[in-house]
Amino acid sequence: MGTFILRRAFQGLLVVLGVTIVVFIATRLIGDPAKVMLPLSATDAQRAAFEAQFGLDKPLDQQFFAFIGDLMSFDFGESIWQRKPALDVVLGKLPKTLELIGAGMFLAVAIGIPLGAIAAVRPDGLFDRLIVGLSLTGLSIPQFWLGLLLIMIFAVGLGWVPTSGTGTLAHLILPAVTLAVPAMARIMMLVRSSVINELNQQYVRTAKARGLPFVRVLFQHAMRNALVPVLTLAGWEVISAWAGYTVVVETVFAWPGLGFTAMKAIGQSDLFLLQAIVFVVAVGIVIVNILLDVLFKLIDPRIKDA
C-alpha cells in the first residue's frame, strides 16, 4: 500500500507539472495585465515600468524558465491585483472553498445515497417514481439559476438567510444546497440503478436463502457492492465541484473562495494569481484521485496494484 501511494504521488507530481506548464502558456494568451491594471491614461514609460516590475518584459522563454525555477520553491510571484504573494492569497481563500465543497458534498452523499437505495427496494413504486422525478428535475436545473432562485425565495422573499457573503452557518446553507443539488441528483440516480442491479444478483438471492433479514442483505451485501461505482461518481463530483462548479456557486453567492477569486483573477488578468490557483486545484485533484484509489482498494479486494 505504501509503495502504491508513493507511486501514485509521483505520477501526480508529473500531472501537476504538466498542468502548470499548460497554464503558464494559457495565461499568457488571455490578456495583457498592464492594459487592465493601469489606467487608460498611463504613459508608455509607466507601462514599461509595470511590466519590468513583474518580469513581463522579458522574452517568453526566459519568463518560463524563471517560472519553473520559482515553482521549485513554491514561489508563484506576487498577485498583481492583491499585491501579495499569489500562493498566500490562494491558501487564504482555500478554507472557504473547502468548507463549501465539504458541506455540499456531505449533503449530496448523505441524502443521495439513502434515498437512492430506498427507491431501489421497490423499482417503479411510488417512492421510486418520486425520487426519479426529483432527480431529473435536479439534473435539469442550471446551477446558477438555482442559486438565484434560492436567493429570491429564501433570502429576499422569506428573509430566512442572508443573500450572500460568509461567516455563519446561515450563510453556508444556500451555497451548499446549490452546489449539492445536481450532484445529489446524479448520485441518487446511480445509487438507485446500482442497488437495483445488485439486488438482482445471485449472491443476494443466496444471502436471502441463508435466512438473513432483508435489511442486512440490503446494507451489508448489496449496498457495499453498489457503492463501488458510486464512489467513482462521488470522486468525480468532488473534483468537478473543486475545479468548476464552485466557480459558478461562489460567484452567484459572492462566496470568498477560490472560485470567486479565480473569476476575479481572470477579470484582472492576474497571471500569477491564476497560476497559483490552477496549481493548487491540480494538486487537489491529484490528492482526491489518490484517496479514491486507496478507498477502492480498501472496498474491493479484487482491485490489484496497477
Partner 1 sequence: MANAHPTPILEVRDLCVEFDTMAGLVQGLRGVSFSVMPGETMALVGESGSGKSVTAQAIMGLIGLPGRISSGDILWKGQSLLTREGQKAAGKLRGKSVSMVFQDPMTSLNPLMTIGAHLIEVLRRHMGLSKDKAFARGVELLDAVGITEPKRRMGQYPHEFSGGMRQRVMIALAIACEPELLIADEPTTALDVTIQAQVLDLLADLQKSMGLSIVLITHDLGIVAGLCEKVAVMYAGSIVEAGTAKTVFDHAEHPYTQGLIRSTPRLDDRRARLISIDGAPPSLLHPPKGCAFQSRCPVSSRQCDEKPARQATPEGGSVSCWTPSVAAWSEPSESPTGGQAR
Binding site for partner 1 (CB under 8 A): 201-203, 205-212, 220-221, 224-225, 299-302
Which CB sits closer to partner 1, 65 or 214?
214
Nearer of residues 300 and 305 to partner 1, judged by Cβ: 300
Nearer to partner 1, 140 or 202 (CB): 202
Whole-angstrom Cα Rg for the chain: 24
Q: Minimum CB separation from partner 1 for residue 81, in Å?
A: 50
Q: Is the CB of 109 or the CB of 217 nearer to partner 1? A: 217
Q: Name the minimum Å distance from CB 302 to partner 1.
A: 5
Q: Helix, strand or coil for residue 78?
A: strand
Q: At what angle do helices 271-299 and 258-267 cross, to 10 degrees?
A: 150
Cell numbers 497560476 correspond to 275
Cβ(285)–Cβ(243) under 8 Å?
yes
State the minimum distance, in angstroms, from the CB of residue 301 to partner 1.
5
CA 147, CA 36: separation in Å to the nearest integer?
30
Distance from C-alpha of 86 to C-alpha of 81, rounded to nearest angstrom: 9
CB of 300 to partner 1, least distance (A): 6
Asked whether the CA dihedral 283, 285, 288, 294 is positive or negative, the reply is: negative
Q: With respect to partner 1, which residue has the nearer C-beta, 49 or 212?
A: 212
CB of 106 to partner 1, least distance (A): 24
Q: How many CA atoms lie within 13 A of 118 on its CB side?
A: 10
Q: Which is nearer to partner 1, 212 or 292 (CB)?
A: 212
Dmax over Cα atoms in the chain, in whole Å? 85
Q: How far is the CB of 184 from partner 1 (least distance, A)?
A: 25
Residue found under cell 521549485? 72
